[in-house]
Amino acid sequence: MIEIKNVSKIYKTGEVAFEALRGVSFSIKDGEFVAIMGPSGSGKSTLMHILGALDTPTKGTYFLDGKDVSKFSDDALADIRRDKIGFVFQAFNLLPRTTVLRNVMLPLVYAEIDKETRKKRAEAALRAAGLDEEHFVHLSNQLSGGQIQRVAIARALVNDPTLILADEPTGNLDTKTGEIVLGTFQRLNVEHGRTIVLITHEHDVAEHAERIISIRDGEIVEDSRSHKRRIMHHHEIR
């Protein structure tokens, strides 16, 4: 599904050039759950922007579903973001004083889908994200942090994207609530076959994925299977 080949990103300020990514290469298969982990300044945010079609590389190529996104115009990138990628951010970005259902239906309004279909798809996305139906009519500012993040996950799901891209999705949550939200991502991956890329600086968060790509100083330093998920799978098999 995803193929990143020799991707570099150089930012220039006057005469000074900073190389945020240095020849990064990896691929992600359909249905994988991958964490991209690195400290602040490692290049993971730059990589997230490229994966999310929010920016293009200075050098190299990015293929998503067989299309070379790295050569796309701004308008074509906007189409990719709308049709192919579901975003979940640290800041929940929901409309306050607006019902949960309307928040999740919003991307479908932009896609010009009829109201009845919008409602059905939003309800299905909320159920997949693990939110109880009693909360569908609540205003977003009447929910707990964990519930709000699950609404944000449902909103990311509603367009049936190829890729769910989660950027520090537990950053505003306490540890226990964060575990619940990460469990939601795991369930979406295992039970619904969703492809998920999780950006994080925390090893404990990254361990919820199947595979961890570690990045430092703009380069991949490790690409390995998650120890925690290996133990989980072992217990599930038994």
Q: Are 204 and 212 in contact (CB under 8 A)?
A: no
- What is the mean predicted confidence (pLDDT) over 8-19? 91
C-beta separation of 185 from 153 below 8 A: yes
Q: Is the pLDDT of residue 236 over 60?
A: no
| Residue 229: band (very low, low, confident or very high) from pLDDT cuts 50, 70, 90 | low
d(CA 48, CA 69): 14
Instruction: Determine the Cα–Cα distance for residues 106 and 121; give it in Å rounded to an integer.
Output: 11
Cα distance between residue 79 and residue 175, in whole Å: 35
CB burial string 19-51: b at 16+ within 10 A, e below: bbbbebebebeeebbbbbbbeeebbbbbbbbbb
Domains and CATH numbers, the chain: 29-42+83-237 (3.40.50.300)
At 95, is the secondary structure helix, strand, or coil? Answer: coil
Range 196-225 average pLDDT: 94
How far is 144 from 138, CA to CA, in rounded Å?
11
Cβ-Cβ contacts under 8 Å for 41 (sequence gap 6 or more): none
Tens of pLDDT, residue by residue over 121-177, are 999 999 999 999 999 999 988 898 899 999 999 999 998 898 999 999 998 889 999
> Given this model, what pLDDT does residue 90 score?
86
DSSP state of 94: P
* Beta-carbon count within 10 A of 128 CB: 19
pLDDT-derived band at 228 (thresholds 50, 70, 90) equals low
Q: What pLDDT score was predicted for residue 111? A: 74
> Rounded mean pLDDT of the chain?
89
